A and B are shown apart, each in its own frame.
Chain A
Amino acid sequence: MAVVFEKTKGLTEKETHYCPGCTHGIIHRLVAEVLEELDVLGETVGVAPVGCSVLAYEYFNCDMQEAAHGRAPAVATGIKRALPDKVVFSYQGDGDLASIGTAEIVHVAHRGEKITTIFVNNAIYGMTGGQMAPTTLIGQKTTTSPLGRDSNLTGFPLRMSEMLATIDGAVFVERVSVHNPAAIRKAKKAIKKAFEVQLEGKGFGIVEVLSTCPTNWGMTPVKALGWLEENMIPYYPLGNFKSPEEAK
């Protein structure tokens, strides 16, 4: 019988710890499939963050290094500078990248490090139990914004892709989502492009992936996908903010 589908070689056999309905699993697979399709699994070193995807080093079937909270871009810089011919990526959530690691992500882009960052934005701190993130939407209830996020007290959600796209060293910036199959296909295309930009040595690339957190949003997986589409996408518009053609 002909094999029509196989699990990607980019992931290990390890069962993930992610909650039912969490979209981290999809995003992991997209990254893994891209690495396999580009035939670079053996030349890749990934950097795992602190947050829900802290155990990513057990799931990606390539060499991995676990970073301190927010520092993945700095760790990836050290690796890429030591191993300039290898493929280096960081996989980070919104607490990691958009809060504690803002300096590191801005400056990895500023230096134009030839790495790829996968930024998973689910508008909440998942691992620690649902606290407010810089990306939490106005009015969104979390354990540290129990009455809903109030812009007067906590500001407005950070749009990282738009901000990073203003930096010359960032040559590929795109926001995608994984709330339906069409979006997932586009997400994979963007992730592949970001790695290709690295392979071509053009500079820093980042793909922001809007993601769900059914557990901490207090929703069923299906309802969470709908909430993402109805609430996150209007505030975080999907699309490409920067590609090598326009980067100087």
Chain B
Amino acid sequence: MAKVLMKGNEAIGAAAINAGCRYFFGYPITPQNELPEYMSRELPKVGGVFVQAESEVAAINMVYGAAGSGVRVMTSSSSPGIALKQEGISYIAGAELPAVIVNIVRGGPGLGSIQPSQSDYNQSTRGGGDGDYHLLVYAPANIQEMVDLLQEAFDKADFYRNPVMVMGDGMIGQMMEPVEFKERPEVDLPPKDWAATGTEGKRKPNVINSLFLKPEELEDHNIRLTEKYDAMKKNEQQWETYNMEKPEIICVAYGTTARIVKSAIDTLKAEGIEIGLIRPILVWPFPEKAFVELPETAKMFLSVEMSMGQMIDDIKIVNQGRLPVEFYGRSGGMIPSPDGVVQKIRALLGGAK
């Protein structure tokens, strides 16, 4: 299929429909409004359903209901709206239902700003709602990758019976790039025989539920869930490396920030300074396998983020104390410039070199 020029938020909608998503429940919030607008326009054309809910809380609970019926369903929001959705996300995880949640991240805390940010790293990777659960969290760096991963997200949600988050920032939602909708490989997925669709008098009632009043049963449930999360950690790590042959510093950055870091790396390489990049494609599970063997030339890690350093802890965990972990970030909707990253790296290397 030929490439088309699309705005990020609309490409997400097109990718979802392409992946078989026919149900969307949302609530307006900047900077993701083009996505529900696109869905309200396009879903009815393919026999789908768009509902603008009365709140993010209601929207995610509609997702929970539709997911319980076994359909492919999605919602989207931005940071403070995602905070409101955490109740429903926890229920979806607890009841083991597939659903895709798109978060076009904006600055926080509180009402924050409407500008691009990555300050939902903790909200996304640490659970967010109550209880022992995890989401797969995709963090694409461009619109093509967003489209590809979004389609993968629906398959993974069905495979694991678990909510999947796709996290972009305001930049990826608002920018336009050429994108190609590729032929998707057939994925072997288990039947949704658990769905509550009416017994038709042919089977015992199916119950969608996350309540376990007996503590031993809830513990068993949590152990089962953890086995699922362990399988995700084993099988779902994805990352990209860049210029990792003999780097003095290894940058770690995800999403659009990684593109800025690549520009800085190219600038410094032209001067003979070797800087590498590990870009997590999923931020949960964090790609610990990428950190097992490090180039001997590496003197330190540099986490580059559009936040005050929420990813540092994960880098420290996989670093296991081997190298210092430094940080460069902008927040509140300020975007790190390639030059800002270059300056930080020069300073870390001891001034002009």
Contacts and interface: CB of A to CB of B under 8 A. Distances in A.
Interface of A: 12, 41-45, 47, 54-55, 57-58, 60-68, 71, 74-83, 86-87, 103-104, 106-107, 110-111
Contact of B197 (A68, A71, A83): A83
Given A82-B23, A83-B197, A74 B207 contact: no
Interface stretch (B46-54, B117-125, B272-280): B46-54
Contact of B73 (A67, A82, A106): A82
A78 B198 contact: no
Given A63-B206, A77-B51, A82-B73, A42 B200 contact: yes
Contact of A103 (B58, B70, B71): B58
A65 B209 contact: yes
Given A43-B200, A62-B205, A82-B23, A74 B53 contact: yes
Interface stretch (B30-38, B61-69, B296-304, B311-319): B61-69
Contacts of B65: 47, 65, 67, 74-80, 82
Interface residues of B, number: 40
A63 B199 contact: yes
A83 to B, nearest CB: 5
A86 B209 contact: no
B211 A78 contact: no
Given A78-B25, A78-B68, A82-B49, A54 B211 contact: yes
Interface in B40-89: 49, 51, 53-55, 57-59, 61-71, 73, 87-88
A64 B196 contact: yes
Interface string B109-130: 0000000000000000000000
Contact of A43 (B61, B88, B198, B209): B198
Contacts of A104: 54, 58, 61
A41 B198 CA distance: 8
B262 to A, nearest CB: 41
Interface of B: 23, 25, 49, 51, 53-55, 57-59, 61-71, 73, 87-88, 91, 95, 196-202, 205-211
Closest 10 CB pairs of A and B: A78-B65, A74-B61, A78-B62, A63-B196, A78-B66, A75-B65, A107-B54, A82-B69, A71-B61, A42-B201
B23 A66 contact: no
A109 to B, nearest CB: 11
Contact of A62 (B55, B71, B199): B199
19 contacts: A54-B211, A61-B205, A63-B197, A63-B205, A64-B208, A65-B208, A66-B209, A71-B64, A77-B51, A78-B63, A78-B69, A81-B49, A81-B62, A82-B65, A82-B69, A82-B70, A103-B57, A103-B58, A107-B58
A63 B209 CA distance: 11
A20 to B, nearest CB: 20
Nearest to B49: A81
Contacts of A103: 54-55, 57-58
A76 B71 CA distance: 14
Contacts of B63: 78
B23 A63 contact: no
Given A64-B209, A103-B58, A104-B61, 16 more contacts: A45-B198, A62-B199, A63-B206, A66-B95, A66-B208, A71-B58, A74-B53, A75-B61, A78-B69, A79-B65, A81-B49, A81-B62, A82-B23, A82-B71, A83-B197, A107-B54
